Protein backbone atom coordinates (compact mmCIF):
# COMPACT_ATOMS: atom_id res chain seq x y z
CA UNK A 1 0.00 0.00 0.00
CA UNK A 2 1.18 3.53 -0.72
CA UNK A 3 1.62 6.17 1.95
CA UNK A 4 0.27 9.72 2.55
CA UNK A 5 -2.20 10.55 -0.23
CA UNK A 6 -3.74 7.11 -0.79
CA UNK A 7 -3.91 6.28 2.90
CA UNK A 8 -5.59 9.55 3.81
CA UNK A 9 -8.19 8.96 1.11
CA UNK A 10 -9.29 5.54 2.23
CA UNK A 11 -9.02 6.32 5.94
CA UNK A 12 -11.31 9.29 5.42
CA UNK A 13 -13.94 7.00 3.93
CA UNK A 14 -13.81 4.86 7.07
CA UNK A 15 -14.30 7.60 9.62
CA UNK A 16 -16.09 6.06 12.58
CA UNK A 17 -17.10 8.06 15.66
CA UNK A 18 -17.81 7.14 19.25
CA UNK A 19 -20.62 4.77 18.29
CA UNK A 20 -18.12 2.44 16.62
CA UNK A 21 -15.89 2.57 19.67
CA UNK A 22 -18.90 1.77 21.82
CA UNK A 23 -19.71 -1.17 19.57
CA UNK A 24 -16.18 -2.49 19.93
CA UNK A 25 -16.38 -2.24 23.69
CA UNK A 26 -19.78 -3.96 23.67
CA UNK A 27 -18.52 -6.82 21.55
CA UNK A 28 -15.54 -7.20 23.86
CA UNK A 29 -17.87 -7.35 26.83
CA UNK A 30 -20.00 -9.88 24.99
CA UNK A 31 -17.04 -12.16 24.45
CA UNK A 32 -16.18 -11.96 28.14
CA UNK A 33 -19.79 -12.68 29.14
CA UNK A 34 -19.99 -16.16 27.62
CA UNK A 35 -21.87 -15.00 24.53
CA UNK A 36 -24.79 -13.19 26.11
CA UNK A 37 -26.13 -10.65 23.62
CA UNK A 38 -28.38 -7.77 24.69
CA UNK A 39 -30.78 -5.46 22.85
CA UNK A 40 -28.54 -2.53 23.86
CA UNK A 41 -25.62 -4.04 21.95
CA UNK A 42 -27.81 -4.33 18.88
CA UNK A 43 -28.91 -0.71 19.27
CA UNK A 44 -25.27 0.42 19.32
CA UNK A 45 -24.49 -1.65 16.24
CA UNK A 46 -27.40 -0.11 14.31
CA UNK A 47 -25.70 3.26 14.00
CA UNK A 48 -22.66 1.77 12.32
CA UNK A 49 -24.77 -0.33 9.93
CA UNK A 50 -26.99 2.64 9.03
CA UNK A 51 -30.25 0.98 10.08
CA UNK A 52 -32.82 1.53 12.84
CA UNK A 53 -34.78 -1.26 14.59
CA UNK A 54 -37.60 -1.13 17.13
CA UNK A 55 -37.41 -2.60 20.63
CA UNK A 56 -39.58 -5.47 19.44
CA UNK A 57 -37.26 -6.10 16.49
CA UNK A 58 -34.26 -6.31 18.79
CA UNK A 59 -35.94 -8.71 21.18
CA UNK A 60 -36.92 -10.96 18.27
CA UNK A 61 -33.27 -11.16 17.17
CA UNK A 62 -31.78 -12.28 20.46
CA UNK A 63 -31.87 -16.06 20.08
CA UNK A 64 -30.67 -16.08 16.46
CA UNK A 65 -28.00 -13.52 17.27
CA UNK A 66 -26.74 -15.72 20.07
CA UNK A 67 -26.59 -18.65 17.66
CA UNK A 68 -24.71 -16.55 15.11
CA UNK A 69 -22.19 -15.43 17.72
CA UNK A 70 -21.67 -19.02 18.75
CA UNK A 71 -21.01 -19.90 15.11
CA UNK A 72 -18.53 -17.04 14.75
CA UNK A 73 -16.67 -18.24 17.83
CA UNK A 74 -16.54 -21.77 16.46
CA UNK A 75 -15.22 -20.56 13.11
CA UNK A 76 -12.48 -18.55 14.84
CA UNK A 77 -11.13 -21.81 16.28
CA UNK A 78 -10.13 -22.91 12.77
CA UNK A 79 -6.50 -21.98 12.12
CA UNK A 80 -6.16 -19.91 8.94
CA UNK A 81 -2.71 -19.30 7.50
CA UNK A 82 -2.24 -16.11 5.47
CA UNK A 83 -1.95 -18.26 2.33
CA UNK A 84 -5.58 -19.44 2.60
CA UNK A 85 -7.83 -17.18 0.55
CA UNK A 86 -11.64 -16.86 0.47
CA UNK A 87 -13.79 -19.08 -1.75
CA UNK A 88 -15.14 -16.00 -3.54
CA UNK A 89 -12.78 -14.03 -5.75
CA UNK A 90 -12.49 -10.94 -7.91
CA UNK A 91 -12.29 -11.73 -11.63
CA UNK A 92 -11.82 -9.81 -14.87
CA UNK A 93 -13.30 -10.30 -18.36
CA UNK A 94 -11.29 -12.90 -20.35
CA UNK A 95 -8.41 -11.48 -22.37
CA UNK A 96 -8.56 -11.05 -26.14
CA UNK A 97 -6.62 -13.49 -28.36
CA UNK A 98 -2.86 -13.01 -28.40
CA UNK A 99 -1.31 -10.68 -30.93
CA UNK A 100 1.45 -12.04 -33.17
CA UNK A 101 4.94 -11.69 -31.79
CA UNK A 102 7.02 -8.87 -33.18
CA UNK A 103 9.89 -9.50 -35.55
CA UNK A 104 12.12 -6.64 -34.39
CA UNK A 105 15.72 -7.33 -33.52
CA UNK A 106 16.22 -7.94 -29.76
CA UNK A 107 18.48 -4.92 -29.45
CA UNK A 108 16.10 -2.57 -31.25
CA UNK A 109 14.16 -0.12 -29.09
CA UNK A 110 10.42 0.50 -29.19
CA UNK A 111 11.08 3.57 -31.33
CA UNK A 112 13.30 1.63 -33.76
CA UNK A 113 16.58 3.08 -32.49
CA UNK A 114 19.44 0.77 -31.47
CA UNK A 115 20.02 0.15 -27.77
CA UNK A 116 23.45 1.53 -26.74
CA UNK A 117 25.87 -1.17 -25.64
CA UNK A 118 27.69 -1.19 -22.30
CA UNK A 119 31.44 -1.59 -22.35
CA UNK A 120 33.32 -4.15 -20.31
CA UNK A 121 35.45 -2.60 -17.59
CA UNK A 122 33.07 0.34 -17.18
CA UNK A 123 30.88 0.96 -14.15
CA UNK A 124 27.95 -1.37 -14.69
CA UNK A 125 25.96 -0.20 -11.67
CA UNK A 126 23.33 1.44 -13.84
CA UNK A 127 23.53 -0.76 -16.93
CA UNK A 128 20.21 -2.15 -18.13
CA UNK A 129 19.22 -5.80 -18.23
CA UNK A 130 19.74 -5.79 -22.00
CA UNK A 131 23.17 -4.23 -21.76
CA UNK A 132 24.30 -6.69 -19.11
CA UNK A 133 22.88 -9.59 -21.10
CA UNK A 134 24.84 -8.46 -24.14
CA UNK A 135 28.09 -8.44 -22.13
CA UNK A 136 27.33 -11.88 -20.71
CA UNK A 137 26.73 -13.38 -24.14
CA UNK A 138 29.89 -11.81 -25.56
CA UNK A 139 31.79 -13.31 -22.56
CA UNK A 140 32.99 -9.84 -21.55
CA UNK A 141 31.72 -10.32 -18.01
CA UNK A 142 30.50 -13.31 -16.00
CA UNK A 143 27.37 -13.74 -13.96
CA UNK A 144 29.53 -14.40 -10.91
CA UNK A 145 31.24 -11.04 -11.42
CA UNK A 146 27.90 -9.24 -11.80
CA UNK A 147 26.53 -11.02 -8.75
CA UNK A 148 29.51 -10.25 -6.53
CA UNK A 149 29.43 -6.64 -7.68
CA UNK A 150 25.74 -6.33 -6.85
CA UNK A 151 26.23 -7.92 -3.43
CA UNK A 152 29.14 -5.59 -2.68
CA UNK A 153 27.11 -2.50 -3.61
CA UNK A 154 24.16 -3.68 -1.57
CA UNK A 155 26.32 -4.23 1.51
CA UNK A 156 28.04 -0.86 1.07
CA UNK A 157 24.87 1.20 0.70
CA UNK A 158 22.51 -0.73 2.97
CA UNK A 159 23.75 0.96 6.14
CA UNK A 160 22.35 4.28 4.91
CA UNK A 161 19.48 3.11 2.70
CA UNK A 162 18.18 0.27 4.93
CA UNK A 163 16.92 -1.46 1.80
CA UNK A 164 17.88 -5.09 2.54
CA UNK A 165 16.32 -7.44 5.07
CA UNK A 166 18.13 -10.65 4.07
CA UNK A 167 21.11 -11.29 1.79
CA UNK A 168 20.85 -14.51 -0.23
CA UNK A 169 24.52 -14.71 -1.11
CA UNK A 170 24.92 -18.49 -0.90
CA UNK A 171 21.99 -19.08 -3.23
CA UNK A 172 23.11 -16.25 -5.52
CA UNK A 173 26.58 -17.66 -6.09
CA UNK A 174 25.17 -21.11 -6.85
CA UNK A 175 22.76 -19.64 -9.38
CA UNK A 176 25.44 -17.40 -10.92
CA UNK A 177 27.93 -20.23 -11.33
CA UNK A 178 25.24 -22.34 -13.00
CA UNK A 179 24.37 -19.46 -15.34
CA UNK A 180 28.00 -19.11 -16.39
CA UNK A 181 28.30 -22.84 -17.07
CA UNK A 182 25.10 -22.92 -19.08
CA UNK A 183 25.91 -19.85 -21.16
CA UNK A 184 29.38 -21.24 -21.88
CA UNK A 185 27.75 -24.49 -23.04
CA UNK A 186 25.34 -22.64 -25.33
CA UNK A 187 22.24 -23.04 -23.16
CA UNK A 188 20.59 -19.62 -23.11
CA UNK A 189 17.50 -19.29 -20.92
CA UNK A 190 16.64 -15.83 -22.23
CA UNK A 191 17.33 -12.16 -21.50
CA UNK A 192 17.40 -12.58 -17.69
CA UNK A 193 19.94 -15.42 -17.71
CA UNK A 194 22.73 -14.54 -15.28
CA UNK A 195 21.20 -11.19 -14.24
CA UNK A 196 21.10 -10.35 -10.48
CA UNK A 197 17.78 -9.32 -8.95
CA UNK A 198 16.15 -8.65 -5.57
CA UNK A 199 12.79 -9.75 -4.13
CA UNK A 200 10.46 -7.74 -1.92
CA UNK A 201 10.37 -9.59 1.39
CA UNK A 202 6.77 -10.65 0.99
CA UNK A 203 8.01 -13.34 -1.42
CA UNK A 204 8.74 -16.79 0.00
CA UNK A 205 12.14 -18.25 -0.88
CA UNK A 206 13.14 -21.68 0.45
CA UNK A 207 15.52 -21.72 3.44
CA UNK A 208 15.41 -17.93 3.89
CA UNK A 209 13.24 -15.84 6.25
CA UNK A 210 10.18 -14.11 4.83
CA UNK A 211 9.59 -11.40 7.44
CA UNK A 212 6.89 -9.23 5.80
CA UNK A 213 8.82 -6.32 7.35
CA UNK A 214 7.35 -7.00 10.80
CA UNK A 215 8.97 -8.01 14.09
CA UNK A 216 6.00 -10.36 14.52
CA UNK A 217 7.31 -12.46 11.61
CA UNK A 218 11.02 -11.72 11.86
CA UNK A 219 12.00 -15.40 12.06
CA UNK A 220 9.31 -16.78 9.77
CA UNK A 221 10.44 -19.27 7.09
CA UNK A 222 7.54 -20.02 4.77
CA UNK A 223 6.91 -23.56 3.44
CA UNK A 224 6.04 -22.36 -0.08
CA UNK A 225 8.36 -21.55 -2.95
CA UNK A 226 6.83 -18.42 -4.47
CA UNK A 227 5.79 -18.80 -8.10
CA UNK A 228 7.50 -15.54 -9.10
CA UNK A 229 10.78 -16.77 -7.56
CA UNK A 230 10.47 -20.12 -9.37
CA UNK A 231 9.79 -18.48 -12.73
CA UNK A 232 12.74 -16.12 -12.42
CA UNK A 233 14.99 -19.00 -11.36
CA UNK A 234 13.84 -20.92 -14.44
CA UNK A 235 14.70 -17.84 -16.53
CA UNK A 236 18.23 -17.98 -15.10
CA UNK A 237 18.01 -14.82 -12.95
CA UNK A 238 20.16 -14.66 -9.82
CA UNK A 239 18.53 -13.67 -6.49
CA UNK A 240 20.96 -11.60 -4.40
CA UNK A 241 18.72 -10.19 -1.63
CA UNK A 242 15.28 -9.85 -0.11
CA UNK A 243 14.48 -6.18 0.10
CA UNK A 244 12.76 -4.15 2.77
CA UNK A 245 9.00 -3.79 2.82
CA UNK A 246 6.94 -1.40 4.91
CA UNK A 247 5.52 -3.53 7.71
CA UNK A 248 2.79 -5.82 6.32
CA UNK A 249 2.92 -3.88 3.04
CA UNK A 250 2.35 -0.27 4.14
CA UNK A 251 4.84 2.57 3.83
CA UNK A 252 8.63 2.48 4.13
CA UNK A 253 8.98 1.73 7.86
CA UNK A 254 9.91 -1.82 8.83
CA UNK A 255 11.38 -3.36 11.97
CA UNK A 256 14.90 -2.34 10.89
CA UNK A 257 14.08 1.34 10.39
CA UNK A 258 12.99 3.54 7.50
CA UNK A 259 14.16 2.75 3.98
CA UNK A 260 15.65 5.91 2.45
CA UNK A 261 15.31 7.67 -0.88
CA UNK A 262 18.70 7.48 -2.69
CA UNK A 263 18.12 10.98 -4.05
CA UNK A 264 17.54 12.49 -0.62
CA UNK A 265 18.58 10.47 2.39
CA UNK A 266 16.66 12.73 4.75
CA UNK A 267 13.36 11.31 3.46
CA UNK A 268 11.96 7.82 3.18
CA UNK A 269 11.69 5.90 -0.08
CA UNK A 270 7.90 5.59 0.24
CA UNK A 271 6.36 2.15 0.10
CA UNK A 272 5.59 -0.50 0.43
CA UNK A 273 8.01 -1.83 -2.22
CA UNK A 274 10.47 0.43 -0.45
CA UNK A 275 13.68 -1.54 -0.69
CA UNK A 276 13.06 -2.80 -4.22
CA UNK A 277 12.68 0.73 -5.62
CA UNK A 278 15.56 2.16 -3.59
CA UNK A 279 17.94 -0.65 -4.56
CA UNK A 280 17.19 -0.29 -8.27
CA UNK A 281 17.39 3.51 -8.20
CA UNK A 282 20.71 3.44 -6.34
CA UNK A 283 22.28 1.09 -8.89
CA UNK A 284 22.52 -1.87 -6.52
CA UNK A 285 20.53 -4.36 -8.65
CA UNK A 286 19.38 -4.20 -12.30
CA UNK A 287 15.81 -5.10 -11.37
CA UNK A 288 13.64 -6.10 -8.44
CA UNK A 289 10.16 -7.42 -7.82
CA UNK A 290 7.54 -5.38 -5.99
CA UNK A 291 3.87 -5.77 -5.15
CA UNK A 292 0.99 -3.32 -5.24
CA UNK A 293 -2.42 -3.20 -3.62
CA UNK A 294 -2.89 0.58 -3.58
CA UNK A 295 0.25 2.29 -4.89
CA UNK A 296 3.04 0.13 -3.49
CA UNK A 297 4.88 0.00 -6.83
CA UNK A 298 3.78 3.40 -8.10
CA UNK A 299 4.62 5.40 -4.97
CA UNK A 300 8.21 4.21 -4.24
CA UNK A 301 9.09 4.31 -7.95
CA UNK A 302 7.91 7.92 -7.98
CA UNK A 303 9.91 8.83 -4.89
CA UNK A 304 13.09 7.01 -5.98
CA UNK A 305 13.01 7.70 -9.72
CA UNK A 306 12.66 4.06 -10.79
CA UNK A 307 10.44 2.57 -13.50
CA UNK A 308 7.71 0.17 -12.41
CA UNK A 309 5.05 -1.97 -14.03
CA UNK A 310 1.85 -2.80 -12.16
CA UNK A 311 0.37 -5.53 -14.36
CA UNK A 312 -3.27 -6.35 -14.94
CA UNK A 313 -4.79 -8.07 -11.90
CA UNK A 314 -4.28 -11.82 -12.24
CA UNK A 315 -1.39 -11.61 -14.72
CA UNK A 316 1.29 -12.78 -12.25
CA UNK A 317 0.81 -15.59 -9.75
CA UNK A 318 0.72 -14.54 -6.10
CA UNK A 319 1.37 -18.09 -4.85
CA UNK A 320 3.90 -17.87 -2.01
CA UNK A 321 3.46 -14.11 -1.56
CA UNK A 322 1.88 -12.50 1.50
CA UNK A 323 -1.81 -11.78 1.02
CA UNK A 324 -3.09 -8.36 2.03
CA UNK A 325 -6.24 -7.94 -0.08
CA UNK A 326 -7.12 -10.92 -2.25
CA UNK A 327 -9.08 -8.89 -4.77
CA UNK A 328 -6.42 -6.18 -5.23
CA UNK A 329 -2.90 -7.60 -4.69
CA UNK A 330 -0.65 -7.55 -7.78
CA UNK A 331 3.02 -8.38 -8.49
CA UNK A 332 5.28 -6.52 -10.92
CA UNK A 333 8.84 -5.56 -11.86
CA UNK A 334 10.79 -2.46 -10.87
CA UNK A 335 13.74 -1.63 -13.09
CA UNK A 336 15.70 1.07 -14.89
CA UNK A 337 13.44 1.24 -17.94
CA UNK A 338 10.07 0.24 -19.35
CA UNK A 339 11.88 -2.06 -21.76
CA UNK A 340 13.55 -3.92 -18.90
CA UNK A 341 10.15 -4.19 -17.21
CA UNK A 342 8.89 -5.88 -20.37
CA UNK A 343 11.68 -8.45 -20.29
CA UNK A 344 11.00 -9.31 -16.66
CA UNK A 345 7.24 -9.38 -17.15
CA UNK A 346 7.65 -11.80 -20.06
CA UNK A 347 9.31 -14.25 -17.66
CA UNK A 348 6.84 -14.04 -14.77
CA UNK A 349 3.34 -13.67 -16.25
CA UNK A 350 0.93 -16.53 -16.86
CA UNK A 351 -1.68 -18.73 -15.21
CA UNK A 352 -0.93 -20.80 -12.13
CA UNK A 353 -3.48 -23.27 -10.72
CA UNK A 354 -2.22 -22.48 -7.21
CA UNK A 355 -3.51 -18.91 -7.62
CA UNK A 356 -7.12 -19.12 -8.90
CA UNK A 357 -7.12 -15.44 -9.92
CA UNK A 358 -4.43 -15.95 -12.58
CA UNK A 359 -5.07 -16.17 -16.30
CA UNK A 360 -3.05 -16.60 -19.47
CA UNK A 361 -3.18 -13.40 -21.47
CA UNK A 362 -1.44 -12.10 -24.60
CA UNK A 363 1.98 -10.48 -24.39
CA UNK A 364 4.19 -9.94 -27.43
CA UNK A 365 7.64 -8.45 -27.04
CA UNK A 366 9.15 -6.89 -29.07
CA UNK A 367 5.83 -5.30 -30.08
CA UNK A 368 4.64 -5.58 -33.66
CA UNK A 369 2.28 -2.60 -33.99
CA UNK A 370 3.45 0.81 -35.13
CA UNK A 371 3.25 3.68 -32.66
CA UNK A 372 1.24 5.68 -35.16
CA UNK A 373 -1.45 2.98 -35.10
CA UNK A 374 -2.04 3.36 -31.37
CA UNK A 375 -4.57 5.75 -29.89
CA UNK A 376 -3.30 7.33 -26.65
CA UNK A 377 -5.58 9.26 -24.36
CA UNK A 378 -4.79 11.98 -21.85
CA UNK A 379 -6.86 13.58 -19.11
CA UNK A 380 -6.82 17.38 -19.67
CA UNK A 381 -8.56 18.14 -16.37
CA UNK A 382 -5.78 16.49 -14.37
CA UNK A 383 -3.03 18.31 -16.24
CA UNK A 384 -4.80 21.70 -16.07
CA UNK A 385 -5.95 21.69 -12.44
CA UNK A 386 -4.09 23.82 -9.90
CA UNK A 387 -2.75 21.20 -7.51
CA UNK A 388 -1.72 23.78 -4.94
CA UNK A 389 -5.36 24.88 -4.57
CA UNK A 390 -6.13 21.58 -2.86
CA UNK A 391 -3.23 21.80 -0.43
CA UNK A 392 -3.88 22.54 3.20
CA UNK A 393 -3.38 26.06 4.49
CA UNK A 394 -0.70 24.62 6.78
CA UNK A 395 1.38 23.35 3.84
CA UNK A 396 4.98 24.55 4.03
CA UNK A 397 6.25 26.88 1.26
CA UNK A 398 8.66 24.22 0.01
CA UNK A 399 5.77 21.77 -0.35
CA UNK A 400 3.86 24.25 -2.48
CA UNK A 401 6.95 24.85 -4.60
CA UNK A 402 7.48 21.12 -5.11
CA UNK A 403 3.86 20.68 -6.22
CA UNK A 404 4.12 23.51 -8.75
CA UNK A 405 7.38 22.16 -10.14
CA UNK A 406 5.91 18.69 -10.59
CA UNK A 407 2.86 20.07 -12.38
CA UNK A 408 5.01 21.98 -14.85
CA UNK A 409 7.11 18.86 -15.49
CA UNK A 410 3.94 16.86 -16.16
CA UNK A 411 2.79 19.37 -18.77
CA UNK A 412 6.14 19.05 -20.57
CA UNK A 413 5.70 15.28 -20.49
CA UNK A 414 2.46 15.68 -22.38
CA UNK A 415 4.27 17.76 -25.01
CA UNK A 416 6.85 14.98 -25.38
CA UNK A 417 4.08 12.47 -26.01
CA UNK A 418 2.65 14.66 -28.77
CA UNK A 419 6.07 14.79 -30.41
CA UNK A 420 6.16 11.00 -30.76
CA UNK A 421 3.49 11.13 -33.45
CA UNK A 422 0.93 8.98 -31.64
CA UNK A 423 -2.76 9.76 -32.02
CA UNK A 424 -3.51 11.78 -28.90
CA UNK A 425 -7.12 11.87 -27.69
CA UNK A 426 -8.51 13.93 -24.78
CA UNK A 427 -10.56 11.79 -22.38
CA UNK A 428 -12.45 12.24 -19.16
CA UNK A 429 -12.35 9.70 -16.35
CA UNK A 430 -15.82 8.54 -15.29
CA UNK A 431 -17.18 10.67 -12.47
CA UNK A 432 -19.60 7.99 -11.29
CA UNK A 433 -19.45 5.80 -9.46
CA UNK A 434 -16.89 7.47 -7.18
CA UNK A 435 -13.93 5.27 -6.30
CA UNK A 436 -13.20 6.69 -2.83
CA UNK A 437 -15.89 4.89 -0.80
CA UNK A 438 -14.95 1.56 -2.40
CA UNK A 439 -11.62 1.44 -0.59
CA UNK A 440 -13.60 -0.16 2.23
CA UNK A 441 -12.93 -3.38 0.28
CA UNK A 442 -9.21 -3.09 0.93
CA UNK A 443 -9.67 -2.37 4.62
CA UNK A 444 -12.08 -5.27 5.14
CA UNK A 445 -9.85 -7.74 3.32
CA UNK A 446 -6.69 -6.54 5.07
CA UNK A 447 -8.41 -6.85 8.45
CA UNK A 448 -9.51 -10.38 7.55
CA UNK A 449 -5.96 -11.27 6.45
CA UNK A 450 -4.60 -10.27 9.87
CA UNK A 451 -7.64 -10.80 12.06
CA UNK A 452 -5.63 -13.01 14.44
CA UNK A 453 -3.30 -10.12 15.29
CA UNK A 454 -6.22 -8.03 16.53
CA UNK A 455 -7.92 -10.82 18.46
CA UNK A 456 -4.70 -11.97 20.13
CA UNK A 457 -3.56 -8.44 20.95
CA UNK A 458 -0.28 -8.94 19.06
CA UNK A 459 -1.20 -6.01 16.84
CA UNK A 460 0.17 -3.82 19.66
CA UNK A 461 3.65 -5.19 18.93
CA UNK A 462 3.74 -3.71 15.42
CA UNK A 463 6.21 -0.91 14.73
CA UNK A 464 3.83 1.98 13.99
CA UNK A 465 0.95 2.66 16.38
CA UNK A 466 -0.66 5.79 14.93
CA UNK A 467 -4.04 6.56 13.40
CA UNK A 468 -2.35 6.32 9.99
CA UNK A 469 -1.06 2.74 10.43
CA UNK A 470 -2.24 -0.87 10.17
CA UNK A 471 -3.10 -1.52 13.84
CA UNK A 472 -5.77 1.18 13.79
CA UNK A 473 -7.01 0.20 10.32
CA UNK A 474 -7.21 -3.49 11.23
CA UNK A 475 -9.38 -2.57 14.22
CA UNK A 476 -11.59 -0.42 12.01
CA UNK A 477 -11.85 -3.27 9.56
CA UNK A 478 -13.32 -5.51 12.23
CA UNK A 479 -16.30 -3.13 12.43
CA UNK A 480 -17.22 -3.07 8.72
CA UNK A 481 -20.62 -4.74 8.16
CA UNK A 482 -20.52 -7.61 5.66
CA UNK A 483 -23.40 -5.99 3.77
CA UNK A 484 -21.35 -2.80 3.26
CA UNK A 485 -18.34 -4.78 2.01
CA UNK A 486 -20.51 -6.59 -0.52
CA UNK A 487 -22.29 -3.36 -1.50
CA UNK A 488 -18.92 -1.77 -2.23
CA UNK A 489 -17.99 -4.70 -4.45
CA UNK A 490 -21.28 -4.49 -6.32
CA UNK A 491 -20.56 -0.81 -7.00
CA UNK A 492 -17.05 -1.90 -8.01
CA UNK A 493 -18.71 -3.87 -10.83
CA UNK A 494 -20.24 -0.61 -12.07
CA UNK A 495 -16.83 1.06 -11.81
CA UNK A 496 -15.34 -1.69 -13.97
CA UNK A 497 -18.06 -1.25 -16.57
CA UNK A 498 -17.45 2.51 -16.69
CA UNK A 499 -13.72 1.97 -17.18
CA UNK A 500 -14.30 -0.72 -19.81
CA UNK A 501 -16.46 1.73 -21.77
CA UNK A 502 -13.79 4.43 -21.52
CA UNK A 503 -11.01 2.09 -22.67
CA UNK A 504 -12.94 1.21 -25.85
CA UNK A 505 -11.90 4.62 -27.18
CA UNK A 506 -8.15 4.40 -26.51
CA UNK A 507 -5.39 1.81 -26.21
CA UNK A 508 -3.96 3.52 -23.13
CA UNK A 509 -3.86 6.95 -21.51
CA UNK A 510 -1.45 9.32 -19.78
CA UNK A 511 -2.19 11.06 -16.49
CA UNK A 512 -0.41 12.68 -13.56
CA UNK A 513 0.63 9.89 -11.22
CA UNK A 514 -1.49 10.99 -8.27
CA UNK A 515 -4.06 12.97 -10.26
CA UNK A 516 -7.67 12.68 -9.11
CA UNK A 517 -8.68 9.20 -8.03
CA UNK A 518 -6.85 7.44 -10.88
CA UNK A 519 -4.53 5.41 -8.63
CA UNK A 520 -7.33 4.03 -6.46
CA UNK A 521 -9.71 3.62 -9.39
CA UNK A 522 -7.33 1.52 -11.50
CA UNK A 523 -6.20 -0.60 -8.58
CA UNK A 524 -9.85 -1.42 -7.92
CA UNK A 525 -10.56 -2.25 -11.56
CA UNK A 526 -7.32 -4.17 -12.11
CA UNK A 527 -5.98 -2.07 -15.01
CA UNK A 528 -2.22 -2.15 -15.69
CA UNK A 529 -0.01 0.91 -15.31
CA UNK A 530 3.59 1.93 -15.93
CA UNK A 531 5.12 4.63 -13.76
CA UNK A 532 8.21 6.40 -15.12
CA UNK A 533 10.50 9.21 -13.93
CA UNK A 534 9.68 12.30 -15.97
CA UNK A 535 11.96 14.98 -14.52
CA UNK A 536 13.55 16.51 -11.45
CA UNK A 537 12.55 19.41 -9.24
CA UNK A 538 14.87 22.38 -9.44
CA UNK A 539 14.32 23.13 -5.75
CA UNK A 540 15.86 19.94 -4.36
CA UNK A 541 16.80 17.68 -7.28
CA UNK A 542 14.30 14.94 -6.39
CA UNK A 543 12.55 12.98 -9.16
CA UNK A 544 8.94 13.19 -10.27
CA UNK A 545 6.91 10.67 -12.27
CA UNK A 546 4.19 10.26 -14.86
CA UNK A 547 1.85 7.28 -15.33
CA UNK A 548 0.55 5.44 -18.38
CA UNK A 549 -2.54 3.27 -17.81
CA UNK A 550 -3.46 0.50 -20.26
CA UNK A 551 -6.36 -1.71 -21.21
CA UNK A 552 -6.87 -4.92 -19.28
CA UNK A 553 -4.21 -7.36 -20.55
CA UNK A 554 -2.82 -4.54 -22.73
CA UNK A 555 0.74 -4.64 -21.38
CA UNK A 556 2.27 -4.92 -24.87
CA UNK A 557 0.92 -1.59 -26.11
CA UNK A 558 1.30 0.01 -22.68
CA UNK A 559 5.01 -0.84 -22.44
CA UNK A 560 5.58 0.00 -26.11
CA UNK A 561 4.38 3.59 -25.74
CA UNK A 562 5.98 4.01 -22.31
CA UNK A 563 9.31 2.77 -23.67
CA UNK A 564 9.19 5.07 -26.70
CA UNK A 565 8.27 8.04 -24.52
CA UNK A 566 11.06 7.18 -22.08
CA UNK A 567 13.71 6.89 -24.78
CA UNK A 568 12.66 10.28 -26.15
CA UNK A 569 12.75 12.05 -22.78
CA UNK A 570 15.66 10.36 -20.99
CA UNK A 571 14.96 11.12 -17.32
CA UNK A 572 15.62 7.46 -16.45
CA UNK A 573 19.25 7.89 -17.49
CA UNK A 574 19.99 10.28 -14.63
CA UNK A 575 21.08 8.61 -11.40
CA UNK A 576 21.63 9.63 -7.77
CA UNK A 577 25.18 10.09 -6.59
CA UNK A 578 26.38 7.52 -4.06
CA UNK A 579 25.96 8.95 -0.60
CA UNK A 580 23.93 11.96 -1.77
CA UNK A 581 22.16 13.60 1.15
pLDDT at 31 over 60: no
Confidence of residue 581 (pLDDT cuts 50, 70, 90): very low
Q: How far apart are alpha carbons 23 and 43 in whole angstroms?
A: 9
pLDDT at position 488 is 96
Cβ-Cβ contacts under 8 Å for 30 (sequence gap 6 or more): 36, 37, 41, 69
Confidence of residue 345 (pLDDT cuts 50, 70, 90): very high
Q: How far apart are alpha carbons 149 and 133 in whole angstroms?
A: 15
**Inter-residue contact 131 to 117 (CB < 8 Å):** yes
**Inter-residue contact 49 to 483 (CB < 8 Å):** yes
Tell me the whole-structure pTM to 2 decimals: 0.91
Go through the domains of the chain in sequence order and give each one's CATH number. 9-78 (no CATH), 129-432+494-573 (3.90.1300.10)
Of 214, 230, 296, 571, the catalytic one is 296
Q: Tell me if residue 523 falls in helix, strand or coil.
A: helix
Task: Report the candidate in 181, 197, 179, 199 with the shortest Cα–Cα distance to residue 189.
Answer: 179
**Inter-residue contact 195 to 237 (CB < 8 Å):** yes
Element (H, E) at 382: helix 380-384
Pairing of strands 307-310, 375-378: unpaired
pLDDT at position 272 is 98
Q: How far apart are alpha carbons 247 and 15 in whole angstroms?
A: 23
Query: 310 has which bridge partners?
Result: 529
- For the CA atoms of 496, 497, 499, 502, the dihedral, rounded to the nearest 10 degrees, stands at 170
pLDDT at position 3 is 53
pLDDT at 548 over 60: yes
pLDDT at position 123 is 85
Would you call 200 a catalytic residue per the annotation?
A: yes
Report phi then psi at 307, rounded to 5: -110, 130
Of 272, 276, 413, 449, the catalytic one is 272
Q: Which tens digit of pLDDT belongs to each residue from 214-235?
A: 999 999 999 999 999 999 999 9
Per-residue DSSP letter, 526: T
Confidence of residue 419 (pLDDT cuts 50, 70, 90): very high
Q: How far apart are alpha carbons 297 and 410 in whole angstroms?
A: 19
Q: Tell me if residue 177 falls in helix, strand or coil.
A: helix
For the chain, the average pLDDT equals 90
Cβ-Cβ contacts under 8 Å for 231 (sequence gap 6 or more): 317, 347, 348, 350
Would you call 296 a catalytic residue per the annotation?
A: yes
Q: Tell me if residue 412 falls in helix, strand or coil.
A: helix
**Inter-residue contact 6 to 299 (CB < 8 Å):** yes
How many other β-carbons are positioned within 10 Å of the β-carbon of residue 241? 30
Q: Which tens digit of pLDDT belongs to each residue from 247-270?
A: 999 999 999 999 999 999 999 999
Q: Which tens digit of pLDDT belongs to each residue from 88-133?
A: 889 898 887 654 443 333 344 444 455 667 766 668 999 999 999 9
Would you call 91 a catalytic residue per the annotation?
A: no
Of 109, 143, 200, 337, the catalytic one is 200
pLDDT at position 11 is 39
Amino acid sequence: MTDARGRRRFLKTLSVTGAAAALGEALGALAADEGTATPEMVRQAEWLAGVRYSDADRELMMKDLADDLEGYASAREVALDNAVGPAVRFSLPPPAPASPAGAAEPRTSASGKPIPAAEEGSDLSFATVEQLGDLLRRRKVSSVELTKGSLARLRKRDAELKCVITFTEELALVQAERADRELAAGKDRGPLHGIPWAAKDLIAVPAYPTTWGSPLFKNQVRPEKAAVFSRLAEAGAVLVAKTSVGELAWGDVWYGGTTKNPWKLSEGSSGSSAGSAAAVAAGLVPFAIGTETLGSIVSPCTRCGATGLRPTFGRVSRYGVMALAWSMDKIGPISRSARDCALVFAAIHGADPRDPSTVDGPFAWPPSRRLSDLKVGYVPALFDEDRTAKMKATARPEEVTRAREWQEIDRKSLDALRALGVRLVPIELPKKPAAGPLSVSLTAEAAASFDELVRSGRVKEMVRQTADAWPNVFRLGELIPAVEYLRANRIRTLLQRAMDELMQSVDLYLSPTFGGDNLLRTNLTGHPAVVLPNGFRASDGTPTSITFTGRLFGETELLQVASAWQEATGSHRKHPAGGAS
